Structure 1
Amino acid sequence: MINKKELQVAGKKEAKATGELTQAGPVFIPAVDIFENQNALILIADMPGVNSEGVDIHLKDNEFTISGRPKKEEKDGPALIYTEYESGGFLRSFTLSNVIDQAKIEASMKDGVLKVTLPKAESAKPRQIIVQAG
């Protein structure tokens, strides 16, 4: 039997802006998964409604920031008067260590999912040390 806690979906958390925002509206913290392999860290961020043109990624003084704004759809027809799904932008920041080769960071966006590959610096990669006899 599955525990009810295992099936609960986390609600959206609104981000607290530390600076001044250039666009009005709520800003949410995107859900992020981070995976690690021998060569890199892979960050997956869910930003529904955001396409590649709506994503900004900045790196300054080891502060890695991702932000996204969903594309506004202009529809003909009845005007929306009530909604239970609040939409807005996304913002999340991370502090990177020297383990990451910052010059080789790559990112791609597909179906509202941002994938960022953060390659490890050569000095941080695991290596086999050969033990010699004698």
Structure 2
Amino acid sequence: MALVRSGANVFDPLSVEFWADADPFGTVRSLAERCPVLTNVRVDWKETPAAHVFKADLPGVRKDQAKVEVEDGDVLVISGERARDELADDGKNERWHHVERSSGKFQRRFRLPRGARVDQVSASMDDGVLTVTVPKEQAKKPQVKAVQISG
């Protein structure tokens, strides 16, 4: 049983898949055409004054099965593979009646806004939740220099 692509990000203009799917002339290939990886991992993205924080629900995925990358300097990629339970009868007289939990490869891609410090991305995994933090550049305060008025 493979993961099924969800339409959860169909209205998210910051998601890379949004632009691929919204291309009426077919000049941008969709994610499904680019690779056989499917997307149904749920991801929350919040912005704080200091960073962009992504939280992905990855139940049953170990830390070594998940991967976080930054492509082309501005695309955050969360990917990995959820292990599959053996569905074959291995001589134990077991029989599956119903299988709903998904397994297989997953991938989510997000275009990061300007000012994201991709060189300082950090990630942690706790209780099946992957948290990726992308710090933001400090907003530069304008330097004010008093000018002496002569005359």
State the TM-score, normalizing by the size of structure 1: 0.67
What letter corresponds to residue 70 of structure 1 in structure 2?
R
Deviation at 1:69, TM superposition (A): 0.9
Q: Give yes or no for the alignment of 1:58 onto 2:69.
A: yes
Q: Secondary structure at the match of 1:108?
A: strand
Partner of 1:14: 5
CA distance in 2, matches of 1:86, 1:104: 32
Of structures 1 and 2, the larger Rg is shown by: 2
Q: CA RMSD in A?
A: 3.1
Provide the rounded CA distance (Å) in 1 between the counterparts of 2:141 and 2:45. Answer: 22
Task: Structure 2: give runs of 5+ residues left out of the alignment.
Answer: 7-30
| 1:68 CA displacement | 2.0
Which SS does the other structure have where 2:32 is aligned? Answer: coil
Aligned residues between the structures:
116
- Identity between Structure 1 and Structure 2 (%): 30
- 1:98, 1:105 → 2: CA distance? 14
Asked if residue 43 in structure 1 is aligned to residue 54 in structure 2, the reply is yes
Task: Confirm or deny that 1:68 pairs with 2:80.
Answer: yes
Say whether residues 1:95 and 2:106 are aligned partners: no
CA distance in 2, matches of 1:110, 1:73: 22
What displacement does 1:79 show? 4.5
Q: Which is further off, 107-116 or 83-92?
A: 83-92
